[in-house]
Amino acid sequence: MSLPALLYRPRWRSLALLALLLAPLLWPLQQLAERYYLGELLQQNRQTLDLYVANLLGTLRRYEVLPQILGDLPALDDVLRQPQQPEAVERANRLLQEIRERTGADTLYLMNAEGRTLAASNWARKDSFIGRNFSFRPYFTEAMAGRRTQFFGLGSTSGKRGIYFAAPVHKGGEILGVLVVKVDLDRTEQLWGNTPERLLVTDAHGVVILTSHSDWRFRATRPLHPGELAEIAANRPYPTRDPQPLELNPKDWLIQQQKLEETGWTVRILAPRSLLERQVHSVLIIGAAVLLVLMLLLGLLLLRRRHYLERIAMASRTRQELESRVQARTQDLEDLNRLLKREVLEREQAQQELVRAQDDLVQAGKLSALGTMSASISHELNQPLGAIRSYADNACVLLDHGRLDEARANLRLISQLTERMASIIAHLKAFARRDRKAPETVALQPALEDALALLAARRRQLEVELIRDLPDATLWVQAGETRLRQVLGNLLANALDALAEKGPPRRIWLSAQRLEDGRISLSLRDNGPGFSREALERAREPFFSTKTTARGLGLGLAICDSLIQPLGGELLLANAPEGGALVTLNLLPAASAVGTQTAEDHHP
């Protein structure tokens, strides 16, 4: 058979057929379960029946010898011989009442030879037996014949069921009367309880006298012939003279019975077959469930096998398709290989052109960086160069006049300015490399004095009045000494540029204080035109300037902001309420120490 045909065979139809073949196995399972549970149920019911029979026989044997034993009591003999003596009757009544209370019997009573009751345990009750004649009862006839006897029947006075034990009372061979003990069987019947099993006791006529099912009471379990009906009518043991038949379907019950030879009674226990069927059905359900699970497992195995075969078939088809695709791809690759060879040559040429373009871009970048650095250096060096020119001119004049000491002082200042220019160039190089050096401890007032000295000539030229509000104690801040002087010089130079655009008077206010958070705040205010709105928004942008190109490149505030931020400082720009620009420089405080020179302050 081919593989596709094997794959698509109707497996579930085969499973259904297999289930039909295995289903008859449930029949022997049912037989085995029924046989097993039937045996268990019969054994259990037999034990229950034996227990009830033993209980009933114990009750009967407890009272059957009592009349014979009590018949020899002198008090009873006195009543039989002197029935007219009230004292004797009262003694007998109280004696029988006391015996009843001790033995638990229902009633004890004494009859004379004519069947009339002379004494009874219920003498004080309204339904007392005293004076009643029970000679019609069979137990009286047999007792007068000299035999112990027992009889089941309803009390003609009380209407209660009971078994009567009777024995003759004789003296010297003469029968004087009959002593009767009546035992109430209602309590014995109540002890049977309410169980699925039914218990019943039938007498010699087959009539139910005791049962756990009250509807069955006084029903006949077999047909009664006319002689039995006549005896029932004469003795009146039941509430009816014609007991109705008890209709029981033998198929609905499992019946076990035991005959009591002493009384002629038969005790039966009836167990409903539903108890057996329920157990058998449970076993069948479990068996069917197991069979179903087995079928499901077998179905899963078949399904896995089918999937396995499908995977094999799919792998075979995939392999064939792969081989055909490989052949097609091989041809495509050969065609692509020829195209790639041509593209490789074209890409090599393009790569060479790209290298040349990259070289051009690098060169352009270098020129751009060089232009930016040149602009920054030009801006930063204009101030010290102007001062050097001024000191050199003054030195020449002083030499001409023979003032050598003053000329030598100017030359020392020129030397210091050249060192300052070298330091600025070193710092600008570090700034271009985005170098981040750790801050040092710097005195604020000396750095401010250096910046003022650098711009002193220009300040005097513009006739700018300098107003200081600085503390006497030195304020130490965290900064680089060169960077701090550069920032202060740029801020003062910007203030002088702003004041050059207005007429006198020209003033600059310098003040310093310690803020609540511990920072040192330096404020620089002038009475110039102040910042425009655009200047406040864009003042920190490189190459933004409100000056002419001959006086500035727009890098001063941008450089100051870039120098202050790495030090943890803050540069604030605003317009003073009194007019003019207000620049605030906030720096971190430092412990009192002598500032050391950093690498950025060395000559290159």
pLDDT in tens, 122-139: 888 888 888 888 888 888
Could you read off the pLDDT of 67-105 as tens digits, one per residue?
888 877 888 888 888 888 888 888 888 888 888 888 888
Query: Residue 365 burial (CB < 10 Å; 0-12/13-18/19+)?
Result: exposed
Residue 559 predicted with pLDDT over 50: yes
Query: Residue 334 burial (CB < 10 Å; 0-12/13-18/19+)?
Result: exposed
Q: List the structure tokens of 274.
A: 């539903």
**How does residue 544 score in pLDDT terms, banded at 50, 70 and 90?**
low
What is the homologous superfamily of the domain 194-274 according to CATH? PAS domain (3.30.450.20)
Q: Which residues pair with 581 in a beta bridge?
A: 575
- Average pLDDT in the 14-43 region? 71
Residue tagged 């401890």 (tokens): 441
Hey, where are the domains in the chain?
64-184, 194-274, 436-601
How far apart CA 351 and CA 162 sit, in angstroms, is 128
Which has the closest alpha carbon to 459: 407, 410, 496?
Answer: 496
- C-beta separation of 187 from 169 below 8 A: no
- Average pLDDT in the 373-399 region? 75
Q: Phi first, then psi: what are they for 302, rounded to 5°?
A: -65, -40
The C-alpha angle with vertex 85 and arms to 84 and 90, in degrees rounded to 5, equals 115
Q: List the structure tokens of 576.
A: 């003073």
pLDDT for res 511: 92
Lowest mean pLDDT among 289-303, 394-408, 492-506, 523-537: 289-303
436-601 has the same fold as 64-184: no
All residues at 6 or more sequence positions from 298 whose CB lies less than 8 Å from its CB, including other chains? 15, 18
Number of residues that this document lists for the chain = 604
In the chain, the N- to C-terminal Cα span, in Å, equals 96
- C-beta separation of 601 from 423 below 8 A: yes
Residue 7 predicted with pLDDT over 60: no
Residue 8 predicted with pLDDT over 60: no
Whole-Å CA distances, 401 to 396, 405, 494: 9, 11, 36
What is the architecture of the domain spanning 64-184?
2-Layer Sandwich (3.30)
Which has the closest alpha carbon to 388: 427, 422, 415, 428?
Answer: 415
Neighbours of 465 (CB within 10 A): 12
pLDDT for res 573: 85
Could you read off the pLDDT of 330-375 as tens digits, one per residue?
888 888 888 888 888 888 888 888 667 644 543 443 344 345 445 5
Residue 494 predicted with pLDDT over 70: yes
Whole-Å CA distances, 444 to 216, 270, 477, 478, 490: 124, 120, 7, 10, 15
Could you read off the pLDDT of 248-277 as tens digits, one per residue?
777 777 788 888 877 788 888 888 877 777
- The residue ranking higher by pLDDT, 251 or 476, is 476
The three-class DSSP label of residue 538 is helix
**How does residue 509 score in pLDDT terms, banded at 50, 70 and 90?**
very high
How far apart CA 522 and CA 516 sit, in angstroms, is 14
Average pLDDT in the chain: 78
How far apart CA 78 and CA 88 sit, in angstroms, is 6
pLDDT for res 556: 66
Q: In the chain, pLDDT over 70 holds for what percent of residues?
A: 82
What is the homologous superfamily of the domain 436-601 according to CATH? Histidine kinase-like ATPase, C-terminal domain (3.30.565.10)
